[in-house]
Amino acid sequence: MTEIKLTVNGVARSDEVEPRLLLIHYLRESLGLRAANVGCDTTSCGACTVLLDGESVKSCTVLAVQANGRSVTTAEGLVAEDGTMSAVQQAFRENHGLQCGFCTPGMVMASTSLLAENPHPTEQEVREGLEGNFCRCTGYHNIVRAVLAAAGKLSGDSATAGTEVTA
């Protein structure tokens, strides 16, 4: 067993883990944070996406020990204490950026990372920025709308919000 100390959604954690424990299983099974899903389990679908020091990663392909000393954020951690959702989460809701919801936590985390790196993405940049996340329901259009709307809200530019997306 190996000792890890990390911050998860702002809370300091200390645990003894097997080196082979995957970050996704640490989050879901050890901490009970069930937002991130196991989808393909092969670094393809993005359902397990979380933020590691603010950057999107696929937690099915990260060992919990690799997160030692670092900060992990899941979709639960985007919600304020009073229950207010983040701008990205709110935009997914308002733009119907989900149907079954399985990919949604990963989509939200990938989008959050994308907007941190590129606050004013074009539609094409959003599509390319989400190429690591699969959605089998929506056809992606409303997801792209949601991310562009969130970008507009975050930059205080109401003109960008509700941008027409080519279908």
Q: Is the distance from CB of 126 to CB of 114 less than 8 angstroms?
A: yes
Counting Cα atoms < 13 Å in the Cβ hemisphere of 32 gives 0
Nearer of residues 20 and 164 to another protein, judged by Cβ: 20
Binding residues (CB under 8 A) for another protein: these are 2, 18-20, 22, 25, 41-44, 46, 49, 52, 55-58, 61-63, 65-66, 110, 113-114, 129, 131-133
Give me the least distance between CB of 106 and another protein, in Å please.
9
Q: Is the distance from CB of 106 to CB of 113 less than 8 angstroms?
A: no
Q: What is the CA radius of gyration of the chain?
A: 16
Give me the least distance between CB of 90 and another protein, in Å please.
22
Give me the least distance between CB of 151 and another protein, in Å please.
16
H-helix or E-strand spanning residue 87: helix 87-94
Both tokens of 102, joined, read 């399985």
Nearer of residues 46 and 161 to another protein, judged by Cβ: 46
Q: Dihedral of the CA atoms 152, 109, 139, 61 (nearest 10)?
A: 150
Nearer of residues 16 and 82 to another protein, judged by Cβ: 16
Local structure of residue 60 (DSSP, 8 states):
G
Nearer of residues 24 and 161 to another protein, judged by Cβ: 24
Give me the least distance between CB of 49 and another protein, in Å please.
6
